[in-house]
Amino acid sequence: MSSQAMNGPTNPTTIAFFPLANRRDLVRRSAIELDRLNGYAATDFWKATCRGLGNELLALGCPEDEMRAEIMDFQAAVQVELMWLHREEAAQG
């Protein structure tokens, strides 16, 4: 076994980011707020949320292509959460 293999990865500056789509509280809060808003307010909230998260990832050193994929996965997770919110509402009343 080489000394490199024994000492771990050759690029110690590699950062692993916790996926946005797995941040349950963030996904849930975003879905609830998006569901509460309508029209331009909903659009403005959504754009600001996604831009803010993207900027946060970039500031942490996330590559741009990976940041974009994270935002897309986050958007999909919020859509799924919105569907669950509406199913819960329908089941309750």
pLDDT digit string, tens, across residues 18-73: 899 999 999 999 999 999 999 999 999 999 999 999 999 999 999 999 999 999 99
The verdict on residue 42 lying in a domain is: yes
The verdict on residue 63 lying in a domain is: yes
Secondary structure (H, E, C), the chain: CCHHHHHCCCCCCCCCCCCHHHCHHHHHHHHHHHHHCCHHHHHHHHHHHHHHHHHHHHHCCCCHHHHHHHHHHHHHHHHHHHHHHHHHHHHHC
The verdict on residue 69 lying in a domain is: yes
The verdict on residue 79 lying in a domain is: yes
The verdict on residue 22 lying in a domain is: no
Range of the domain at 87: 37-93
Domain count across the chain: 1
The verdict on residue 31 lying in a domain is: no
pTM of the model: 0.78
The verdict on residue 51 lying in a domain is: yes
The verdict on residue 1 lying in a domain is: no
Residue 5's pLDDT band (boundaries 50, 70, 90)?
very low
pLDDT at 17: 74
pLDDT at 61: 94
